[in-house]
């Protein structure tokens, strides 16, 4: 398949993830949207890696997967702490530092 097909798939996936991050209020769904965005980036990296015949993109994708794992761990811990102190995971209500 041409690289552009994979890149387009990656772009649509990134758009869906971005829509979730920007539009949803449930912090869990927002974290899932961030995971989708990271995976879209991985897909683009692997597509370019395949197109250029260079495996460095695979190493980058590996690093990004580890990063996503760390992000999920810390993000979910923050959610648990937020829920403990506020009894909510609605992002609109976590606005103490905005006021």
Partner 1 sequence: MPLTESAATFWDQITFWILAACVIGGALFTMTRRNPVTAVMSLVGTFFALAATYATLSAHFLAVIQILVYAGAIMVLFIFVVMILNREEVAPVALRGLGARILGLVAGLYLVFVFARVVHLGAEASVPVPSETFGTVASIGDILFRDFLYPFEAISLLLLVAVVGGVVISRSHKKEVAAEQAAERRKIIEQLAHADFPALSDLAGDGDAHGGAGGHH
> Segment 47-76, which members bind partner 1 (CB under 8 A)?
47-53, 55-56, 58-59, 61-63, 65-74, 76
Q: Which CB, 50 or 99, lies closer to partner 1?
A: 50
CA distance 34 to 42: 12
Counting residues that bind partner 1 (by CB under 8 A) gives 71
Could you say whether residue 86 binds partner 1 (CB under 8 A)? no
Question: Which listed residue (2, 96, 98, 99) binds partner 1 by CB under 8 A?
Answer: 2
CA distance 9 to 46: 12
Question: Which listed residue (34, 41, 77, 95) binds partner 1 by CB under 8 A?
Answer: 77
């Amino acid at each position: 398949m041409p690289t552009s097909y994979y890149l387009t798939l990656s772009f649509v996936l990134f758009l869906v993830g971005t829509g979730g991050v920007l539009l949803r209020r449930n912090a869990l769904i927002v974290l899932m949207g961030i995971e989708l965005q990271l995976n879209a980036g991985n897909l683009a990296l692997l597509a370019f890696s395949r197109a250029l015949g260079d495996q460095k993109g695979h190493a980058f994708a590996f690093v990004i997967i580890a990063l996503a794992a760390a992000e999920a761990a810390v993000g979910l811990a923050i959610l648990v702490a937020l829920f403990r102190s506020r009894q909510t995971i609605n992002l609109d209500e976590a606005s103490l530092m905005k006021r």
